[in-house]
Structure 1
Amino acid sequence: MSDADSTADLVEGNHRHWDERVAIHTRSPFYDLDGFRAGAEPLDRFQLDELGDVTGLDLVHLQCHIGLDTLSWARHGARVSGLDFSEAAVRAASGLAADIGLDHRARFVAADVHDAVDVFGAGAFDVVYTGTGALMWLPDIERWARTAAGLLRPGGRLYLAEFHPLADVLDDGDGVTAVHDYFARGARTYEVSGSYADWEAETTHNTATEWHHTLGDVISAVAGAGLRIEFVHEHGTIAFRRCDALVADGGRFRYPDRSARLPLTYSLAASAPS
């Protein structure tokens, strides 16, 4: 079997994994769809501040899952498109858009992220957005960056908010001890039942594969795709309890006061040539 065939098999395993978890996520308190329908804001404050006013802009959300972040940008005035490889996730996102009356300015498409230019057309968007928990599912970060660049109009912006890759190597308990090699690349396949949204849920497709990309990998890929890096910001909060040491803080989690702190998420903005 070639490396390409092996990678395709791993991605297909992830496809089955995520398809199965859509139903778990749509009914879970973690995503709280009832709260979202009532107006709750799932985006971090720093995302809203950093990306700024999106009124009237065409925004595409790559790897959009069930569409909460996508539709949040629509609520803030953007015309949005969401793309995800899970057909079940796209159906859920489309249904949610109809529920909140935004189906006229939101569309969702099931496709591989690397096919996004073929799906939407080159230079179709003012903003390409990627939210937390997306990049580790991609085997080729450089190919992803080229795809993002291909979707942008002249002067358009790539904006991503993502889990900090340093967090991937830290102990699940104390959150500060390194237990994995930060510089190790390649596929990491593991078995996990349930979901981060409901660990007690019964699941069948429990094999998942992630690919570790360092912060330098991501920055270099974006720059290599011809985009100009505007900023890279590191943040001390995260949307879920990544390790036991974290404490709740206004719907997010952070390290306790007077403890050693490490970055938990980061954000990056880059612009296409005008």
Structure 2
Amino acid sequence: MSKVEQQNRQSWNAATLAHNSHKGDQAQFFRRGGSTLFPEELELLGELKGRSLLHLQCNCGQDSLSLATLGALVTGVDIADEAISFATALSRDTGIPAAFHREDVVQWLRQAASQGLQYDIVFSSYGVLCWLPDLRAWAQGVASVLKPGGRLVLVEFHPFALCFDEHWALKYDYFNTQPMVFPEGVGDYVAESGEGLLLSGETEGMQEFENPHPSVEFSWGLAKLVGVLLEAGLRLRKLEEYPYSNGWKGFKQMHEGPGRRMYAPVGQAGVPLMYGLEASRD
């Protein structure tokens, strides 16, 4: 694991403890039939019953278990020790089966391909690509573990939206190719988003969380993403852009619409805040 990946691993370990401190009794939420999935993911994913599904950057496994309740045979991979530990415990406590692995996703994909592992669906969502130092290696890894006819489903925050700071001022270069260091590390976006990300009931949790570990992010434009997927031999089947973000209230004065969709302030020109993509291996 590189120095950058190790740095991000530490930052995510600290942030994960803060995030889960706000989320109430998550095991009870799932035992009562709860799901953390949004309609956009479900529409792109389609029928899941009996499908083998690889969930990359699965975080603490809430979406993974939601997918498993729909009949998918789920394997989750994430770089953060705290996330995988929590996901494994949540699977055990809910009785919802899923397998979880702590590893850098590109390294894990290489190992899986060497073992001949293949999946019907590879899925990833929300704030994932910015943590990948090598997008081409990720795309090739995804293609290597998809069965013929298998699909990549990605729902992600739009790279243009990530050019703004929290006050909607353009700050970051869309075409930046250099790593960006954030001394403040991964923040407590769960607390900042409130009910948008707190389906299992809110608890006070950690207050005024400060991450002791800086983080490093990478900027990947939409054309770059599509290019590396095509280069890896995948066929683009669908690409949708949305004027809202699901659950995440990442900017000031965002207003919430139906279904926990977060929109730009009233009166502000709309910009794409999220996109959904489906690509397949022929």
2:125 corresponds in structure 1 to 131
2:215 corresponds in structure 1 to 208
Does structure 1 retain, via aligned residues, the 8 Å contact 2:28–2:94?
A: no
CA distance in 1, matches of 2:99, 2:44: 24
Cα distance, 1:95 vs structure 2: 0.9
Paired amino acid for 2:136: E
CA distance in 2, matches of 1:61, 1:38: 23
Paired amino acid for 1:101: G
Give the structure-2-normalised TM-score.
0.86
* Structure 1: tracts of 5 or more residues without a match: 1-6
Q: What does residue range 93-112 of structure 1 map to in structure 2 within 5 Å?
A: 93-103=87-97, 106-112=98-104
Cα distance, 1:157 vs structure 2: 0.2
Does structure 2 retain, via aligned residues, the 8 Å contact 1:145–1:225?
A: yes
Q: Deviations over 1:150-193 (max 9, x none)?
A: 110111000100110001112422x3x42222111110001226
CA distance in 2, matches of 1:247, 1:48: 24
CA distance in 1, matches of 2:148, 2:181: 38
Q: What does residue range 42-191 of structure 1 map to in structure 2 within 5 Å?
A: 42-103=36-97, 106-117=98-109, 118-119=111-112, 121-173=115-167, 175=168, 177-191=169-183
Does structure 2 retain, via aligned residues, the 8 Å contact 1:116–1:151?
A: no
Cα distance, 1:40 vs structure 2: 2.9
Q: 1:245 aligns with which of 226, 246, 253?
A: 253
Paired amino acid for 1:235: Y
Alignment RMSD (CA, Å)? 2.1
Cα distance, 1:86 vs structure 2: 1.5
CA distance in 2, matches of 1:228, 1:79: 24
Give the structure-1-normalised TM-score.
0.89
The percent identity for this pair of structures is: 31
Q: What does residue range 229-268 of structure 1 map to in structure 2 within 5 Å?
A: 229-238=236-245, 239-249=247-257, 250-256=259-265, 258-268=267-277
2:195 corresponds in structure 1 to none
Does structure 2 retain, via aligned residues, the 8 Å contact 1:27–1:33?
A: no
Paired amino acid for 1:260: A
Does structure 2 retain, via aligned residues, the 8 Å contact 1:69–1:131?
A: no
Paired amino acid for 2:52: D
Paired amino acid for 1:100: T
* Structure 2: tracts of 5 or more residues without a match: 193-206
Paired amino acid for 1:90: I
Cα distance, 1:45 vs structure 2: 0.7
**Relative contact order, higher structure (CA 8 A, sep 6+):** 2
Q: 1:195 aligns with which of 176, 188, 194?
A: 188
Does structure 1 retain, via aligned residues, the 8 Å contact 2:131–2:216?
A: yes
Cα distance, 1:256 vs structure 2: 4.4
